[in-house]
């Protein structure tokens, strides 16, 4: 029990510290958004002044763009109503749990320590999101006037996440600058028996889909983006440092697609650890959709239906070799 308490305390301490950093990021992103909004207004005025200077009829131009946008919005609505339910209700694929059980058994037989997820956390910029969740173990409210918060879901073994972006604006803009993605993290924890170098591999399965719908045309600058990113860190007395795993990034100016995304990723990290003190391995997951320009739409979905979710399966830990006597690891 003492070991569990030590690990639990360390996970909580790290979550609190990283949540404070998340709040700082929110404040920075808000500043960027405010500046982007001001820049967008100035650019819109310059564009209109230029069009007027060359003799364009701005009333006719506005009417034409408005008509075009109404048509794009109607087309988007029809597209989503026809195809999105099929992606949500798609049948589940092969059993990820069965494959994971086989892999973990083989790893254990070859001398690896195989660890289940210890805890998971969700950081969000809008606490109203938590009203939609069930199975919340506890949550901590934001501070400094920011309506953010974080939670420990009761079940850390199955995560749900999605992000949707839609821009109905007629002119070019910076709508993605106003966007603050949620942040999910899974935590594995253990206490090394030996001071040594360790190879750690987090195995995470993603089952979902993405939608990109955008039509860049004359007098427009449209974009639709989906981004799936994982960062991994190991903490004993201090962070070893974040390692990036860009899993999916698609940026389209012209697209009309719905694509399934079913992948199991193996995320590796090697560092030296000291015997006898808690270690927390964190994989931080960002699911993000961005859209800019009239009629642009993007969605990255690991949540809706029964076949779309994220499974943090296990962490494989292998002692590579004992640490040298001149190891620079030290207690903070």
Q: Which residues have a Cβ under 8 Å from the Cβ of 70 and sit 6 or more positions away?
A: none
Give the CB-side neighbour count of residue 297, counting CA atoms within 13 A: 19
CA distance 89 to 234: 37
**Is residue 208 within 8 Å of residue 301, measured between CB atoms?**
yes
Q: What is the mean pLDDT of each run of 10 residues along the chain (332 residues)?
A: 79 89 83 76 79 83 79 86 92 72 77 90 78 51 51 87 79 55 91 95 95 73 88 95 95 85 95 94 94 83 93 93 50 34
The three-state DSSP-derived secondary structure of the chain is CHHHHHHHHHHHHHHHHHHHHHHHHHHHHHHHHHHHHHHHHHHHHHHHHHHHHCCCCHHHHHHHHHHHHHHHHHHHHHHHHHHHHHHHCCCCCCCHHHHHHHHHHHHHHCCCEEECCCEEEEEECCHHHHHHCCCEEEEEECCCCCCCEEEEECCCCCECEEEEEEECCCCCCCHHHHCCCCEEEEEEEECCCCCEEEEEEEEEEEEEEEEEEEECCCCCCCEEEEEEEEEEEEECCCECCCEEEEEEEEEECEEEEEEEEEEEEEEEEEEEECCCCCEEEEEEEEEEEEEECCCEEEEEEECCCCCCEEEEEEEEEEEEEECCCCCCCCCC
Strands 254-273 and 279-292, how do they pair? Answer: unpaired
Q: Which residues have C-beta within 8 Å of that of residue 78, sequence separation ≥ 6?
A: none
φ, ψ dihedrals at 203, nearest 5°: -110, 115
Q: Is 228 within 8 Å of 300 (Cβ atoms)? A: yes
> From CA 152, how far away is CA 123, in angstroms rounded?
10
Cα angle 77-79-81, degrees, rounded to a multiple of 5 = 65
Q: What local confidence, expressed as pLDDT, does residue 192 receive?
A: 94
Burial of residue 78 (number of CB atoms within 10 Å: 0-12, 13-18, 19+): exposed
Could you tell me if 293 and 22 are in contact, meaning their C-beta atoms sit under 8 angstroms apart? Answer: no
What's the confidence (pLDDT) of residue 33?
A: 73
**Cα–Cα distance between 127 and 149 in angstroms, integer?**
6
CA distance 183 to 163: 11
Give which of 148, 307, 283, 293 is closest to 228, Cα–Cα. Answer: 283
């Amino acid at each position: 029990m003492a070991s569990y308490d030590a690990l639990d305390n360390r996970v909580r301490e790290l979550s609190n510290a990283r949540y404070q950093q998340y709040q700082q990021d929110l404040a920075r992103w808000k500043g960027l958004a405010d500046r982007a909004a001001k820049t967008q207004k100035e650019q819109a005025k310059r564009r209109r002044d230029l069009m007027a200077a060359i003799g364009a009829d701005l009333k006719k131009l506005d009417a034409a763009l408005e008509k075009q946008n109404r048509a794009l919005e109607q087309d988007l609505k029809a597209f989503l109503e026809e195809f999105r339910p099929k992606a949500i209700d798609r049948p589940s694929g092969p059993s990820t749990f069965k494959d994971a059980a086989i892999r973990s058994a083989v790893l254990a037989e070859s001398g690896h320590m195989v660890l289940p997820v210890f805890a998971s956390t969700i950081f969000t910029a809008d606490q109203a999101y938590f009203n939609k969740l069930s199975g919340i173990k506890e949550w901590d409210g934001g501070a400094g006037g920011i309506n953010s918060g974080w939670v420990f879901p009761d079940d850390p073994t199955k995560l749900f996440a999605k992000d949707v972006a839609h821009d109905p604006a007629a002119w070019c803009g910076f709508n993605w600058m106003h966007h603050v993605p949620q942040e999910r993290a899974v935590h594995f924890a253990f206490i090394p028996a030996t001071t040594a170098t360790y190879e750690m591999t987090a195995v995470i399965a993603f089952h979902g889909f993405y939608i990109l719908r955008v039509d860049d045309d004359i007098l427009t600058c449209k974009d639709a983006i989906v981004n799936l990113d994982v960062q991994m860190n190991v903490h004993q007395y201090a962070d070893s440092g974040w390692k990036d795993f860009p899993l999916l990034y698609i940026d389209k100016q012209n697209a009309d697609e719905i694509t399934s995304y079913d992948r199991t990723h193996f995320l590796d990290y090697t560092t030296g650890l000291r015997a006898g003190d808690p270690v927390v391995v964190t994989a931080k997951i960002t699911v993000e959709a961005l859209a800019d320009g009239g009629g642009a739409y993007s969605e990255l979905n690991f949540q809706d239906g029964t076949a779309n979710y994220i499974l943090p399966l296990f962490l494989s830990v292998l002692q590579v070799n004992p640490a040298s006597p001149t190891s620079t690891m030290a207690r903070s």
